[in-house]
Every structure is written in structure tokens, then in C-alpha cells.
């Protein structure tokens, strides 16, 4: 049974979705108040495996609430039209939304969306234990594993990671990345490519054993590298060898 939290501005608008999920034997809680109290209720929100953000919540409102919800570590599904923000000024938001549904999503597809975003307690515990181990002894991830990680990066992924590494946990603006990668001011096209690069690096960071949050999005500004992954790379002389 998956525990699902639906955040909305109008609970009545989510009755069909809530009923569909309950018929799948999921435990569903629909709330409008938690949307505005998320910062004070993270412990409660972490009780759920999946958060569904209703299309009654505007994209502008998501700018404020999404960073808070990301701190919960839960998977986030957005109900709405992905294409509407794909090429707009909020396209950077796409990298932190795990999946999308709409009012017409068939039940069979809804089952798949929930299944691939379900964070089981066992998996979550294993991840937490692994991250704790990394923080206690980053060098425990061997030099061989580090080199495997580095060799698996594309040329542009390596450039992005090196730029973040040299910034030493300071934020690197998206404009700076565009200039160093493509020698141009930001455009929708290269901002989209940058988001894709960041996503791919996050996946590879996870494969090494770190959380994706070790490569952090600073809303409206850019990206920065977490201290743990920076320490790991430093101990394996990433900046010297790259």
C-alpha cells in the first residue's frame, strides 16, 4: 500500500483522483492546509511516499512551495501540463518534479506512475544508511570507484562538475555555465541543455552512493555542489586530474 499526499487549493477538485487511487488500495490524504504549512510539517509530510501537486496550484506558487517539499525527500508528481512550462522561464523546475499526470491519465498509467515513484521504507532505510556511511568516511568510496564515476561523464558533464567543484560550494549562476559551455548568453535551448546535464550528473552521483541533493538547485540563481561530494572528489584529486 502506497501512502499518497495530494496537495491542493480545493479538495473537492481532487475527488476523482482520490477515488481512483483509493480503488488501487492506496492510502490517500488530500489537504489544502498543508500546502501553506509545509515548512512546519515536514515530519508529517515524510509519512507519505508520494506527493501529488494539484493543477489548482499555479506554477508561480510552486516556486515558493516546491523547495520546501523537496526537503522532505519524497517523490513529487505534478498534475498538469508539462509542456506549458517546458520552454518558459520556469523550465528549471522540471528537474525536481519526478513525474506528471493530468485529469485524463488512464488508471493503468496512474498505477505505473505511482509504482515507479513509490519510496518503500526498506529502500529508504538502505539509502539513509549508505549516505550516513558516505558522510562518515567519503574516502571509503575507493579511488577506483571515483575514477569509474569520472570516466563515465561526458565532456560537458565533466565541465559542469569541474566548474561546481572549483566554486567550492558557492552557487554558480546558469549564465556562467552557458558562457563556459557555449560561449553565449542564456537561451531557452541552452538552459534546457544545462538542466539535462545537471539531471544526468545527479543520476550518476546517486549511482556512486550519494543523494541527488549533493548537486543542489538554488532557486532562480543556479547550482552548487554539496560538501560531501566535494570532499569525496577532493580526496580523489578530481580538480588536479581534470
**pTM metric for this prediction:** 0.54
**Weakest mean pLDDT among 10-19, 116-125, 129-138, 174-183:** 129-138
Instruction: Tell me which fold the domain 129-241 belongs to.
Output: Arc Repressor Mutant, subunit A (1.10.10)
Task: Please state whether beta strands 99-101 and 75-79 pair in parallel, antiparallel, or not at all (unpaired).
Answer: parallel
| C-alpha grid cell, residue 149 | 564515476
Longest dimension (CA), the chain: 58
- Sign of the dihedral defined by the CA atoms of residues 156, 159, 163, 165, in that order: positive
pLDDT of 242 higher than 70: no
pLDDT digits (tens, 9 = 90+) for 47-106: 899 999 999 999 888 888 888 898 888 899 999 988 888 877 788 788 889 899 988 888
pLDDT for 208 equals 77
Binning pLDDT at 50, 70 and 90, where does residue 172 land? very high
**What pLDDT does residue 139 have?**
45
Long-range CB contacts (< 8 A, 24+ apart) of 20-24?
20/107, 20/110, 21/110, 21/114, 23/107, 24/107, 24/110, 24/111, 24/114
Confidence of residue 221 (pLDDT cuts 50, 70, 90): confident
Contact between 88 and 26 under an 8 Å Cβ cutoff? The reply is: no
Q: Which residue(s) pair with 5 in the sheet?
A: 29, 51
The domain segmentation of the chain, as residue ranges, is 3-117, 129-241
pLDDT given for residue 129 in this prediction: 45
Checking if the pLDDT of 43 tops 90, the result is no
Question: pLDDT exceeding 70 applies to what percent of the chain?
Answer: 86
112-169 confidence digits (pLDDT tens): 888 888 854 444 544 544 544 454 444 444 556 667 777 888 889 999 999 999 998 7
In this structure, whether the domain defined by 3-117 belongs to CATH 3.40.50.2300 is answered with yes
Q: Could you identify the residue written with the cell 498538469? A: 80
Q: What is the pLDDT of residue 143?
A: 58
Amino acid at each position: 500500500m502506497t501512502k499518497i499526499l495530494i496537495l491542493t487549493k480545493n479538495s473537492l477538485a481532487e475527488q476523482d483522483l482520490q477515488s481512483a487511487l483509493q480503488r488501487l488500495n492506496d492510502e490517500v490524504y488530500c489537504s489544502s492546509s498543508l500546502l501553506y504549512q509545509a515548512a512546519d510539517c515536514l515530519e508529517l509530510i515524510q509519512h507519505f511516499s508520494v506527493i501529488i501537486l494539484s493543477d489548482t496550484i499555479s506554477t508561480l506558487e510552486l516556486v515558493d512551495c516546491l523547495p520546501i517539499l523537496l526537503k522532505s525527500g519524497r517523490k513529487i508528481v505534478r498534475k498538469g501540463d508539462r509542456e506549458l512550462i517546458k520552454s518558459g522561464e520556469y523550465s528549471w523546475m522540471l528537474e525536481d518534479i519526478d513525474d506528471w499526470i493530468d485529469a485524463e491519465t488512464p488508471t493503468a498509467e496512474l498505477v505505473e506512475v505511482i509504482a515507479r515513484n513509490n519510496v518503500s521504507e526498506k529502500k529508504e532505510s538502505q539509502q539513509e544508511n549508505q549516505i550516513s556511511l558516505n558522510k562518515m568516511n567519503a574516502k571509503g568510496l575507493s579511488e577506483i570507484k571515483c575514477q569509474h564515476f569520472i570516466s563515465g561523464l561526458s565532456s560537458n558533464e565533466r565541465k559542469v562538475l569541474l566548474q561546481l567543484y572549483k566554486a567550492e560550494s558557492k552557487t554558480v549562476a546558469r549564465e556562467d555555465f552557458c558562457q563556459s559551455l557555449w560561449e553565449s548568453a542564456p537561451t531557452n535551448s541552452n538552459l534546457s541543455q544545462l538542466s539535462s546535464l545537471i539531471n544526468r550528473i545527479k543520476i550518476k552521483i546517486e549511482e556512486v552512493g550519494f543523494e541527488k541533493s549533493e548537486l543542489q538547485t538554488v532557486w532562480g540563481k543556479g547550482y552548487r555542489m554539496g560538501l560531501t561530494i566535494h570532499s569525496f572528489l577532493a580526496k580523489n584529486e578530481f580538480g588536479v586530474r581534470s
